[in-house]
Every structure is written in structure tokens, then in C-alpha cells.
Amino acid sequence: MRLSRTHPLIRPLVDDNPVTLQILGLCSALAVSSSLRPALIMSISVIVVLAFSNVSVSLLRYVLPRSVRLILEMTIIASAVVVIDEVLKAFVPGVSAILSVFVGLIVTNCIVLGRAETFARYNTVGASLADGIGNGLGYSLILLSVAALRELLGSGALFGVTLLPVLADGGWYRPNAMMQSSPSAFFIIGLLIWGVRSWRTEQVEQPAFSVRHAEQRETSQ
Amino acid sequence: MTHLLEIVLRAMLVENLALVFLLGMCTYIAVSKRIETAIGLGIAVVVVQLITVPVNNLLYQYLLAPGALAWAGLPTLDLSFLALVTFIGVIAALVQVLELVLERYVPALQVRLGIYLPLLTVNCAILGASLLMVQRRYDFTESLAWGLGTGLGWALAIVLFAALRERLHYSDIPDGLQGLGMAFIVTGFLALGLSGFTGVEF
Amino acid sequence: MTKAAESVPRTLAVVIAVALFCSAMVSGAVYLLRPIQAAYALLERNRTIVEVAYGAGERTDADVVQAFLALDARVLDLESGEYVPAMDSYGFDHWSQERVEQGATRRVPIYFVTRKDARAYLVLPVEGPGMWSTLQGYVGLQADLQHIATLGIFRHGETPGIGDRIQNRDWLSAWHDKQIVDAAGAVLISGVKSEGAITAYQIDLITGATITSSAVVRLVSNWFGEAGYGPWLARLRADEPARGVK
């Protein structure tokens, strides 16, 4: 089955990426990106919550009362997040401690509420499920790319497996201290956006002001 | 007293929610295009933090923490897993009230903030401050200081960023970096600058 | 959305349905997952219990949690000799700071081992004063409830290199098959500084750590006497046919 670029599962990967285009879900994309293992657990958690929330909202889309719509959506999302949080605390307590408050913050992850409001409310369950998973994957793509770079350059390892032996262990690689701290996440995403928009030029934003050159001023006289 | 002042200053500079914890980024990037809007949103965030963090602290201490319900004769009950849902409810209610108050008394600000005022409900920084307060087991006065400090810190970050972004309008930026890309890189530099406060003792 | 859908009763119905479903989902998850989370919280303690029950070995954290939750844990009230079913026997930490401060230590968690290939039949917590600190450990009893299968030391604050030799594998395995009480319940176990053969109810004390090792023997014998598990174990032994012991 060849999925087209506009299929809800594929579109959010690059063309409509929640992080690099929709400007959603930034908080955790930046904060949890210092190493791959927590980033992976976080990605899976977000995908699960997105899928559950989109399917639930889509199932209820004909009966959701307008007056309490937002509160009901938040309740569904918050319940899903609490369940995920408890599951993580039970089965991977070490990673859960590293992720600390960020699993709880999936509740406020703009992607989840954003997709529920703009897609799941108006589409079938199947499409909503695909959209939820697609956006989750788009988010994960960015998060895991940043995490891979930060872990590799910041500590010479990926998933804890040493690839670049560090000086402290008798190797040759001097770990990049900036990669270990939060500003690096901003730089990496900024450069990633540059790369994506050079490839898919239709995503380029128009500048707010453009400098009027001398010739233009004369012709407009 | 100095302990409380220390919490405020640490929250503003060393543990800035926007630039160190990286919370509230969506709104941060989206609302920082004009300085006046950024200042308005910053003030709104300070007000919301100053009220929600202490209120959530009371709710947690007397209702949700393990053993909190001892006064009601249920000392073994542990409702801490309900913290997330409760805090969101409190924040949503407060933001709704704030919107009504602004609409009545400062309508210009309410119009300028537009959709971003109700979006404070899902602002990671607001919920994050309450969750961190629980994690650090602050008492009531400490949570007041923490709420004030985190609000001021986030407001400081967004105002600084808006000032920089207005300057960026006149820069010649490569097409791919225009707008969002450059915003990230500038924020990175801001965060780098603020990281100079790490390890400072107040 | 038609006008009919906006009516108050319908709104209320949807709200209540969603609330009930979400509550059930959250409560169900928390109820099912709490024991596993608690088992991780008390991981080091549970590792000692699992080693006493099944023997020492290489175990990951997940293995320990699984093995611990497979035990049949009960909370025993020493005053009445009855179990307390209302308490969470798996998460019950009777050596936690708060409980010690409250002075409430007459309720102890005990663990029946259900697997047939295990080392011990019943695991009981014991504690008592050592030379410098309180010693806390677990006794693994064999099915006849008289002979010891394994002993494990969980916590102590004795002198490193001297008192801490009570955790020495060789000394602990010397407790295997020693008889703590006789069939009538009289406590037999005692410590001796060996000069030659020792009986089946004597423990050879550690040379150079006599005080600490004899403290261990003393606390075990105290806990199997009248003030500890003695009366309750006597009742259990009387139920031998019910327990299917040969």
C-alpha cells in the first residue's frame, strides 16, 4: 500500500510537522532531548496519548456538547496521561524519574489538544487514528533526531552504548559540553528547520518587512 | 524571609522556566512578535502563577498527598495520582475568570492577547510550575515565592525575546531560517546567556 | 450540532458518561499498577526477601519485582496471632521511618513461598540490637517450621570489615538446616565459639566479630520465642495436615 504525501499518517512527518511547521509540542521536544532513551519513551507516550485522544474525540464528535467541549477533551487527555504516567512508573521507574514532570506535561502538549480540536472533531475514527499516530511520529522524528545528536556529541554514546570513547575513559573524544545543556536543543532545531525548508521551499515564511531597494523607490514615485 | 527571596531569584534566573526548563515554548515563540503583546502576556502569566501555584499547593497538601486526608479520618488514602487532573481544572477555571476580568476592566489587553489568553490553560509553564512545586515539596509560603518567581522569570524571558525579534525584522536572514528557524537560534543564545547564572548562590 | 443536542439533560448525560469512563480507566490503572510500583520502591528490601526465599543469584530489578510479587504476603498481628487482610501486605514497610517513629511495630509482613523449587517455605522478618546499630534481616524457614533454610541480613550499621562479616556468604550458609525450635516450640538455637563439633542447633560465631554475630543469634532466638513468632508458629505447626507437610 503506497501512502500518498497527503495521507494523514505521512503528511505530519515533513509537510505538516507539528514541531517545525505547526509550532506545537515544543516544550518536551526541547526539554527531554538530552539522551535517546528518555526521548524514545517520551515519543512512545505521546503517540499513545495522541492516538487515544484522537480516537475518543472522534467517537464522541456527534455528541460533544459545545458548552463543555474543551473541558471534556481535557478530561479525556488528562486521564490518558495519568494512565501512561502510572504505567511508566511501574515498568520503567528509572526512565520515569528522568522524565519526571514531562510525562504529566503531555496534558498541555499543544499537539494533543490541537489535533483533537482541528482534526478529530471533524473526521472519522480511522482517519483520526492515522492523524494521531502521524503527528506523534512527526514529533518523534524531531525529538529523536535532536536527542541522537545531543547524546552522541555530548557524551559519545547512543542509547548508552559508547560510540566515541571519551577522554575520561581513556579515549580520544572530548565531549561537547554545550550539547549536554538546553540551549543546544534550540540550535539543533533551528538548523533542522533551515535544512527542511531548504528542501521543501514551500514552507519558507515571508519576512515581516522587506527592505525597499533604491530602484523600487524611484518606480513608485 | 531571605529563603523566600532566594526562591524567587532562583526561579527567575537560575531555573527560568522558559530558558532553562524549556516550558511554555509554543506560546513563547508565537506571542513574541511584538513587545507590547509580550509584556501583556507576561503580566497575565505572573498573575496566573501567583494564584494557581499556592492554591494547588493547598489542594495537594490537604486533599491529595498521601495521608493528607487524615483530618477527614482517612489517613491511608493516597490520591496523589489525581494531582494532574486537579491542577488542570484549577488553572482552567482561573484563566476563565481572568479572561472575564480583563474583558471588563482592560479590554484592550484582552483583545490584543486574543486566543493566547485561554491558551494559558495548556501552557506547560503554568502546569509545570505546579508539578515542580509538588516534586520539591514546597510549603505554602514557599509556593507563593515559587509562583511569583517563575511567573516573573517567564515574563522576563518572553519580553527579552520579543525585543530581540523586533530587531530581527531588519536583518537579512537566509530564506530557510526566516521566522521560526531564527527564533529558535536566538532563543538558544538567550538561554546560553542565562546559563551563566548556574551555580550562583543568592 | 442541532438544538436538541444542546439540551441540558443530554449534556449532563455525556458529561457523566465521560467522567465515569475516565474515572474507571484511571482508577483501574492505578489499582493494578500500585503493587508493582511499591515493589520497585522497596527494591533493596525485596531483593533480600527474594534471596532468602529462592536463594542467591543474578537477578535484574524486574526479576526481583516479579519474584517478590509471586510470594504469598500477609500482614501478621503478633498480639492476636491473626492476619490483617485489610492492609497492603506487599507494600507494607514495617521498618519505614514513619512506622518506627509511631512505635507501631507489632504488625509484621510475612511471606509464604508458593513455588516448589524454592529454598524456603516461609520468610519472616527479624530485627534486634547489634553492637552499634539495629540489625534487620529475614529468616527463611523450612516446611516443618523448625529448621532454618536460609538467613539474610538486610540492614545493619556495624563496623566495616568486622561486624559486617555477618553478611558473609559462608557464615550465612552455615545456618542452613540448623534447628531453631524443637517440636514443642522450645527455642534451641544458640551461638558457640567452636572448638570442635557443633550440634544441629548451634551456630559457630565469627571469630573477631563475636559480639555482632552473637547479636544475630540472640535476635533470631528472641523472635522465635514467646514474645515473637513462637505462639503463632506453634499454631501453624499444629495445622500440619492442613498444610500438607509430610
Domain boundaries, given as residue ranges, for chain B: 2-197
Contact flag A90-C11 (C-beta cutoff 8 Å): no
Reduce the secondary structure of B43-79 to three states and give it as a string. Answer: HHHHHHHHHHHHHHHHHHHHHHCCCHHHHHCCCCCCC
Cβ contacts below 8 Å, chain A against chain B, sum to 143
For the residues of A62-129, what is the DSSP string, one character each? TT--GGGHHHHHHHHHHHHHHHHHHHHHHH-HHHHHHHTHHHHGGGG-HHHHHHIIIIITTS-HHHHH
Name residues whose C-beta falls within 8 Å of residue C232's C-beta, 6 or more positions apart in sequence: C76, C78, C81
Distance, in Å, from the CA atom of A186 to the CA atom of B183, rounded to the nearest integer, reads: 9
pLDDT of residue C245: 43
C28-69, pLDDT tens digit by residue? 998 899 888 888 888 888 999 999 999 888 888 888 988 999
Q: 3-class SS at C153? A: strand
User: Which residue in the set A66, A68, A90 is minimally distant from C37, CB to CB?
Assistant: A90
Average pLDDT for runs of 10 along chain B of length 202: 89 89 85 87 92 94 83 77 88 87 87 79 89 89 94 95 88 84 90 82 70
Cβ contacts below 8 Å, chain A against chain C, sum to 55
Residue that the C-alpha cell 480507566 belongs to: C25
Q: How near does any CA of chain A get to the CA of C84, in Å? A: 26
Q: How many CB atoms neighbour CB A131 within 10 A?
A: 26
Q: Which residues of A touch B15 (CB under 8 A)?
A: none
Distance, in Å, from the CA atom of B20 to the CA atom of C78, rounded to the nearest integer, reads: 53
Q: 3-class SS at C122? A: strand
Distance, in Å, from the CA atom of B132 to the CA atom of B134, rounded to the nearest integer, reads: 5
Q: Name the closest residue on chain B to residue C86, using Cα atoms.
A: B76
Per-residue pLDDT band at A214 (split at 50, 70, 90): low
Distance, in Å, from the CA atom of B198 to the CA atom of B200, rounded to the nearest integer, reads: 6
- Average confidence (pLDDT) over A11-19: 78
Contact flag A30-B180 (C-beta cutoff 8 Å): no
Q: How near does any CA of chain C get to the CA of A58, in Å? A: 13
Sign of the four-CA dihedral B62, B66, B67, B72: positive
For the residues of chain B, what is the DSSP string, one character each? -HHHHHHHHIIIIIT-TTTTS--SHHHHHHHTTSHHHHHHHHHHHHHHHHHHHHHHHHHIIIIISTTGGGGGT-TT---GGGHHHHHHHHHHHHHHHHHHHHHHH-HHHHHHHGGGTGGGGG-HHHHHHHHHHHHTT--HHHHHHHHHHHHHHHHHHHHHHHHHHHHHTTS---GGGTTHHHHHHHHHHHHHHHGGGTT---
Identify any residues that bridge with C139 across adjacent strands, giving them in sequence order: C124, C151
Can you say whether residue C102 is alpha, beta or left, with left for phi > 0 and alpha for psi between -120 and 50 degrees? alpha
Identify any residues that bridge with C127 across adjacent strands, giving them in sequence order: C136
Q: 3-class SS at A177? A: helix
Q: 3-class SS at C244? A: coil
Is the per-residue pLDDT at A209 higher than 80? no
A71-108, pLDDT tens digit by residue? 888 889 999 999 999 999 888 887 888 787 788 888 88
- Residue C17 belongs to a domain: no
Highest mean pLDDT among A53-62, B173-182, C155-164: A53-62
Per-residue pLDDT band at C138 (split at 50, 70, 90): very high
Is the per-residue pLDDT at C80 higher than 50? yes
What is the widest separation between alpha-carbon atoms in chain B? Answer: 67
pLDDT of residue A179: 86
Residue that the C-alpha cell 448525560 belongs to: C13
Residue that the C-alpha cell 532566594 belongs to: B6
Cell numbers describing residue A94: 528509572
User: Do the beta carbons of residue B128 and residue A30 sit within 8 Å?
Assistant: no
Rg (CA), chain B: 18
pLDDT of residue C3: 47
Percent of chain A with pLDDT strictly greater than 70: 92
Q: Name the closest residue on chain B to residue A89, using Cα atoms.
A: B81
* Nearest partner of C140 among C108, C112, C105, judged by Cα: C112
Q: Kindly state the DSSP code that residue C186 receives in the 8-state scheme.
A: -
Distance, in Å, from the CA atom of C179 to the CA atom of C202, rounded to the nearest integer, reads: 8
Contact flag B131-A104 (C-beta cutoff 8 Å): yes
- Residue C132 belongs to a domain: yes
Is the per-residue pLDDT at A217 higher than 60? no
- Average confidence (pLDDT) over C134-159: 89
Distance, in Å, from the CA atom of A141 to the CA atom of A29, rounded to the nearest integer, reads: 10
Amino acid at C3: K
User: Which residue in the set A60, A75, A87 is minimally distant from C19, CB to CB?
Assistant: A75
Percent of chain A with pLDDT strictly greater than 90: 24
Is this prediction's pTM over 0.80? Answer: no
Contact flag B23-A31 (C-beta cutoff 8 Å): yes
A203 touches C at CB < 8 Å: no
Q: Which residues of B touch A70 (CB under 8 A)?
A: 92
Is the per-residue pLDDT at C187 higher than 80? yes
Distance, in Å, from the CA atom of A89 to the CA atom of A68, rounded to the nearest integer, reads: 31
With contact defined as 3+ CB pairs under 8 Å, the chains touching C are: A, B
- Residue C64 belongs to a domain: yes
> Going along A139-208, which residue ranges are E strands?
157-158, 161-162
Antiparallel, parallel or unpaired: β C134-141 and C122-129? antiparallel
Distance, in Å, from the CA atom of B65 to the CA atom of B134, rounded to the nearest integer, reads: 9
Domain tally, chain C: 1
Kindly report the average pLDDT of chain C as a whole number: 84
Residue C103 vs residue C73, higher pLDDT: C73
Amino acid at B58: L
With contact defined as 3+ CB pairs under 8 Å, the chains touching B are: A, C
Reported as type and span, the H/E element at residue C138 is strand C134-141
- Residue C16 belongs to a domain: no
Distance, in Å, from the CA atom of A165 to the CA atom of A155, rounded to the nearest integer, reads: 9
Of chain A residues 58-87, which have a CB less than 8 A from chain B?
A: 70-71, 74-75, 78-79, 81-82, 85-86
Q: Name the closest residue on chain C to residue A59, using Cα atoms.
A: C18
Contact flag A86-C15 (C-beta cutoff 8 Å): no
Counts of helices then strands in chain C (DSSP H, E): 8, 8
Is the per-residue pLDDT at A3 higher than 80? no
Is the per-residue pLDDT at C100 higher than 70? no
Interface test with C, best of B77, B80, B82 (most C CBs within 10 A): B82
Contact flag A83-C26 (C-beta cutoff 8 Å): yes
Q: How far is CA B196 from the centre of its chain?
A: 21
pLDDT of residue C246: 37
Residue that the C-alpha cell 510550575 belongs to: B129
Contact flag A207-B81 (C-beta cutoff 8 Å): no
Of chain A residues 7-66, which have a CB less than 8 A from chain C?
A: 60, 62-66
Q: Which residues of B touch A211 (CB under 8 A)?
A: 170, 172
Is the per-residue pLDDT at C109 higher than 70? yes
Segments forming the whole domain that contains residue C221: 38-242
pLDDT of residue A91: 87
Contact flag B123-A104 (C-beta cutoff 8 Å): no
Q: Name the closest residue on chain C to residue B80, using Cα atoms.
A: C30
Q: Which residues of C touch B81 (CB under 8 A)?
A: 26, 30
What angle, 0 to 180 degrees and rounded to 10, lies between the N-to-C axes of helices B140-168 and B124-135? 150
Cell numbers describing residue C3: 438544538
Distance, in Å, from the CA atom of C16 to the CA atom of C8, rounded to the nearest integer, reads: 12
Residue that the C-alpha cell 496523589 belongs to: B80
Using a 10 angstrom Cβ sphere, with 0-12 exposed, 13-18 middle and 19 or more buried, the burial of residue C174 is: middle
Q: Which residues of A touch B183 (CB under 8 A)?
A: 190
- Residue C9 belongs to a domain: no
For the residues of C52-91, what is the DSSP string, one character each? HHH-S----HHHHHHHHHTSEEEEEETTTTEE-TTS-TTT
- Average confidence (pLDDT) over C3-24: 82
User: Which residue in the set A23, A193, A208 is minimally distant from B26, CB to CB?
Assistant: A23
Is the per-residue pLDDT at C244 higher than 50? no
Torsion of the alpha carbons at C5, C6, C11 and C14, rounded to the nearest 10: 30
Residue that the C-alpha cell 498521601 belongs to: B66
Is the per-residue pLDDT at C98 higher than 70? no
A170 touches C at CB < 8 Å: no
